A and B are shown apart, each in its own frame.
Chain A
Amino acid sequence: MRLSYTKALNRALTDALAEDPAVCVFGEDIGAGMAGPTLNLLDRFGPGRIVDTPLSEQAFTSMAIGAALTGRRPVIEFQIPSLLFLVFEQLVNQAHKFSLMTGGQSAVPLTCLVPGSGSRDGWAGQHSDHPYGLFAHAGVKTVVPATPTDAYGLLRSAIADPDPVVVFAPAAALPVRETVTWELAPVPLGSARIHREGTDVTVVAVGHLVHDALAVAEELAPEVSVEVFDPRTLHPFDWTALAASLERTGRLVVIDDSNRSCGIGGEVIATAAEGMRLVAPPRRITRPDGTVLPFAPGLDRALQPSRGQLRDAIGEVMKHRAPVRPHGEGPAR
């Protein structure tokens, strides 16, 4: 079976709705399934569970919180990543804080799904943000799947999770298709995936950039052995798996399509520098500080992380040779 990323999200919603009557979906134009993930859900589950909302993001997000506090498992589909800025109050100030503020009396099993996050050709300044770092920073569980099977599995886990989770489906990952010969299954939050093993350098790639990292790794294979590390969830982050990967490689490059300052890329590097094995100064590839994506395609591209930058960064970290270890210390290389 060839599974597309969008179809995987659709399957995840369908299966979650079929399995648990508490699951419901809110969003704009979801009855018509405009964005794809909600296609046909209204026919199958009816307007009591698939709720086409007026253009009232703050109210329907709060409403979903009220519903979550009283026994439902709402999923909200946001048409545009920038809408998350409108509902920061609801997600960060309310949903995320409820459990602690009530001393554990309440949980908010709310999932936000953002299909089409990041740059989409021609959508310009207000439609091209990729704000996962903000949620990871706030402590909201944050998921960025790279492949269709992970999109399915992570969305299923997000919906089953008792806490709020924001699932970012990168626009550039939506066209990805995957041949699936196994049964689709939930993927636990907080578990990284190594797409390709390597011994020279760990490339931590977020979302759609996993595919770029794999392409570059393939290209460089004759000279450099690149490990492609996909965290899959940015909060919680699988630090154990990263430490293990750096044990093998000792070199780190992060490629992350969000803004540089205070971004997740910086966090990965800081954490590695604090306590993991590094034999070379790490590098990060991100959008520039405070980026707003310009309209002209060439300008838009110029600000996004590129394969060329990744190649260069790998070249840089490879200039540093690992110190020779005395016999018997550390894993064999």
Chain B
Amino acid sequence: MTQHDPVTQHDPMPQHDPVDPVGLGSPAGRYRMLRLIRGFEELALGLVKSGEITGGIHPYIGQEAVAVGVCAALRPQDRITSTHRGHGHVLAKGAAPDRLLAELLGRTGGLNRGRGGSMHAADFSLGVLGANGMVGAGGAIAVGAAWSARQAGEDRVAVAFFGDGALNQGVLLESFNLAAMWRLPVLFVCENNGYATTLPAATAVAGSATGRAAAFGIPAAEVDGMDTEAVRAAAAEAVERAASGGGPGFLECRTYRFEGHHTMERLMKLRYRTPEEVADWRALDPLPRAAALLPPGRAGQLDASVAQQLDAAREFALASEHPDPAGALEHLYADGLRPRTGSGA
């Protein structure tokens, strides 16, 4: 195989490594995941444009270093909650790109059998407790997961990803208090991409993000969110502290989304960022920075391997079946209670 398949020969995604099943343990593996997320988003953007994905998505392009850096610091048993901009987190925790894409397309082969879509993608088998459409909602859910792990005597850390916009949701601040009072193994990861939709964080967040966590006695650090290795180092420290009983941590990752808030944004012709600002941040693209850590030629090989994987994902997702409308309310109740039919059913 070595001769004929130089691409997969070095594929850093070991299929059966129980400690590092997603393969984020090496710089090559992390680069590969950055590329996978980037490529996945580009593919999804194309499918939105062609009308195959209905409703649009919130692209993660530009912020990949945060998901990859944080998830590289996690163990398989650790859990995450995610946001409306969640594809990167879900992939970096190990979800299969083909099933995530099928979910975005609303197909039966999707992670959520087509019932969740982009904003609710979840994979409980990997500890992905769901992307969430309500800003800030995942924060306290992660606190609950951390509490429950501790009660069960399990060594698991929970990570809550959220944006700068979520910093103004009361429930998130309430959950800082609970996590700190009870010294729960939870890591709050604020992806400060500078905007909540069009609202600049500079005009919305009084004080500082880290200051808010620090006010609750939670150790808080600010980190370059365009640098995978910096995020990973900061996250590893916080995860280790949380796992060894040191209580919650908070990371503010300074990052940027290169695309619009949502794929509808282009149609709306919103203007809230200057082209110069976008260009300045694009110059900090996490991908070339991660590629620079690899031996010459390696990044290109990994790119090719990712491209193959995404082709296969696209094929899988588009071939997956649409759910039967007769089952539109399946899974509404875990106990199988059948709701009465309405006029639409």
Report the separation of the CA atoms of residues A236 and B115 in the bound assembly, to the nearest whole angstrom.
23
A12 vs chain B, min Cβ distance (A): 19
Interface size on B, residues (CB 8 A): 50
Interface size class of A (residues with CB under 8 A): 35 or more
Determine whether A220 belongs to the interface, using a CB cutoff of 8 Å to chain B: no
Q: Determine whether the beta carbon of B178 is less than 8 Å from that of A99.
A: no
The proximity string for A residues 146-167 relative to B, scoring 1 for CB distances below 8 Å and 0 otherwise, is 0000000000000001110000
Q: Determine whether the beta carbon of A100 is less than 8 Å from that of B141.
A: no
Report the separation of the CA atoms of residues A104 and B336 in the bound assembly, to the nearest whole angstrom.
10
Q: Determine whether the beta carbon of B143 is less than 8 Å from that of A63.
A: yes
Q: Determine whether the beta carbon of A163 is less than 8 Å from that of B170.
A: no
Q: Determine whether the beta carbon of A62 is less than 8 Å from that of B137.
A: yes
Determine whether B210 belongs to the interface, using a CB cutoff of 8 Å to chain A: no
In this complex, what residue of A is CB-closest to B139? A62
Q: B137 — which chain A residues lie within 8 A by C-beta?
A: 62, 89-90, 93-94
Report the separation of the CA atoms of residues A141 and B116 in the bound assembly, to the nearest whole angstrom.
22
* The residue from B110, B116, B142, B178 contacting A54, defined by CB atoms under 8 A apart: B178
A8 vs chain B, min Cβ distance (A): 24
Q: B152 — which chain A residues lie within 8 A by C-beta?
A: 71-72
B243 vs chain A, min Cβ distance (A): 16
In this complex, what residue of A is CB-closest to B323? A103
Among A53, A66, A99, A163, the most chain B Cβ lie within 10 Å of the Cβ of A66
Q: A53 — which chain B residues lie within 8 A by C-beta?
A: 178
Q: Determine whether the beta carbon of B113 is less than 8 Å from that of A101.
A: no
Q: Determine whether the beta carbon of B339 is less than 8 Å from that of A62.
A: no
Report the separation of the CA atoms of residues A67 and B137 in the bound assembly, to the nearest whole angstrom.
14
Q: Determine whether the beta carbon of A24 is less than 8 Å from that of B151.
A: yes
Determine whether A285 belongs to the interface, using a CB cutoff of 8 Å to chain B: no
Q: Determine whether the beta carbon of B151 is less than 8 Å from that of A139.
A: no
Q: Determine whether the beta carbon of B124 is less than 8 Å from that of A56.
A: no
Q: A54 — which chain B residues lie within 8 A by C-beta?
A: 174, 177-178, 181
In this complex, what residue of A is CB-closest to B103? A103
Report the separation of the CA atoms of residues A107 and B141 in the bound assembly, to the nearest whole angstrom.
14
A278 vs chain B, min Cβ distance (A): 19
Q: Determine whether the beta carbon of A102 is less than 8 Å from that of B120.
A: yes
* The residue from B115, B125, B171, B330 contacting A58, defined by CB atoms under 8 A apart: B171
Q: Determine whether the beta carbon of A63 is less than 8 Å from that of B335.
A: no
The proximity string for A residues 102-121 relative to B, scoring 1 for CB distances below 8 Å and 0 otherwise, is 11111111000000000000
Q: Which of B56-87 contact A (CB under 8 A)?
A: 79, 81
Determine whether A60 belongs to the interface, using a CB cutoff of 8 Å to chain B: yes
Report the separation of the CA atoms of residues A190 and B333 in the bound assembly, to the nearest whole angstrom.
14
In this complex, what residue of A is CB-closest to B81? A66
Determine whether A192 belongs to the interface, using a CB cutoff of 8 Å to chain B: no
Report the separation of the CA atoms of residues A90 and B137 in the bound assembly, to the nearest whole angstrom.
8
In this complex, what residue of A is CB-closest to B181? A54
Determine whether B329 belongs to the interface, using a CB cutoff of 8 Å to chain A: yes
Determine whether B130 belongs to the interface, using a CB cutoff of 8 Å to chain A: yes
Q: Determine whether the beta carbon of B151 is less than 8 Å from that of A103.
A: no
Q: Which residues of A contact B (CB under 8 A)?
A: 24, 48-49, 53-54, 56, 58-72, 89-90, 93-94, 98-109, 139, 141, 161-163, 190, 236, 239
Q: List 16 A-B contacts (CB under 8 A).
A: A24-B151, A59-B171, A59-B175, A59-B177, A63-B140, A63-B141, A64-B144, A66-B146, A70-B145, A101-B112, A101-B130, A102-B120, A105-B124, A107-B334, A141-B337, A236-B337
Q: Which residues of B contact A (CB under 8 A)?
A: 79, 81, 110-116, 120, 122-125, 129-130, 132, 134, 137, 139-149, 151-152, 158, 170-171, 174-175, 177-178, 181, 329-335, 337, 339-340
